[in-house]
Amino acid sequence: MTVRSLTEFNLKDIEYNYKLINERISNACQKVGKSREEVIFLSAVKTVPCEIINHAISLGLKYIGENKVQELLQKYDEYDLKNAELQFIGHLQTNKVKQIIDKVTLIQSVDSIKLAGEISKRAEELNKCIDVLIEVNAAGEQSKWGVDTERLYEFIDEARQFKGISIKGLMTIPPICENQDENRKYFSKIYKMFIDIQSKKMDNVNIHILSMGMSDDYAAAIEEGATMVRIGSALFGKRVYY
Ligand SMILES: *Cc1c(COP(=O)(O)O)cnc(C)c1O
């Protein structure tokens, strides 16, 4: 477990970063004729202690995302969830679904039918239907989680049969590229699939969230069609660990 010490953070820096990121998001929206409200700024808060996360929430941050179940459970009682939504953004093992199902508003990382089925089952036990995104492996990398693009349509067609989940969109983490512009081709590829799936109007598929873009490439992602960006280090500073 690697929650960083409070002394590693400077509140003034976070305030500055928060403003700057919002400005850059607005600029990217403007550049492509989107309104600012069409893009959600979610912060990836791994390794960040709750005191610091809650400070960001006090500045106006509305969405936070954790990528490890253990860390989420450890921090859960301290998040200011009156003023922000908690989502799950990392790889999720099926045997851990029950530990977070009642704690998050959206699971961004559905990457197998088995996981979709387990989330649905646990949600139904609570008489709920939980919102999910399908994680897509944009470049077909062996090392990455996510559904291959060639299988995406078939996958969605299968996953939409589960009554306890509602498919709200796609999420992707493209390869680490030398420059932002290289990632644009993956962003635009996933955007095209997103639009195509939307146009098919399948039952139990109401796709309107496209989660892509992180600290180094969120402006490019918005320009290529992202409706949600997940930003960690640009807000809270560089991590030494994962
Ligand atoms: C950490 C993380 C991010 C944000 O990464 P940064 O490069 O720090 O902005 C986005 N998405 C997921 C799934 C993450 O785990």
Q: What is the pLDDT of residue 105?
A: 98
Per the structure, how many domains does the chain have?
Answer: 1
CATH code at position 72? 3.20.20.10
Is 1 inside a domain boundary?
A: no
Q: Whose CA is nearest to atom 7 of ligand 1?
A: 215
Q: What is the pLDDT of residue 241?
A: 60
Q: Which residue has the tokens 């610091």?
A: 52
Is 47 inside a domain boundary?
A: yes
Q: What is the distance in angstroms between the CA of the first residue and the CA of the last residue of the chain?
A: 11
Mark the ranges of the chain whose per-residue pLDDT is less than 50. none
Does ligand 1 lie within 6 Å of residue 145's CB atom?
no
Does ligand 1 lie within 6 Å of residue 232's CB atom?
yes
- pTM, to two decimals: 0.96
Ramachandran assignment for 19, one of left (phi > 0), alpha (psi -120 to 50 degrees), beta (any other): alpha
Long-range contacts formed by 93-96: CB under 8 A, 24+ apart: 93/69, 94/118, 96/69
Looking from the CA of residue 108, the nearest atom of ligand 1 is: 13
Is 241 inside a domain boundary?
A: no
Nearest to 14 by CA among 40, 46, 48, 47: 48
Q: Whose CA is nearest to atom 6 of ligand 1?
A: 232
Is 136 inside a domain boundary?
A: yes
Q: What is the pLDDT of residue 242?
A: 53
Does ligand 1 lie within 6 Å of residue 89's CB atom?
yes
Tell me which residue range forms the domain holding 201.
6-236
Does ligand 1 lie within 6 Å of residue 172's CB atom?
no
Is 242 inside a domain boundary?
A: no
Is 69 inside a domain boundary?
A: yes
Instruction: Tell me the pLDDT tens digit for each residue of 174-206.
Output: 887 777 677 899 999 999 999 999 999 888 889
Q: What is the pLDDT of residue 204?
A: 83
Q: What is the pLDDT of residue 1?
A: 56
Q: What is the pLDDT of residue 180?
A: 66
Does ligand 1 lie within 6 Å of residue 90's CB atom?
yes
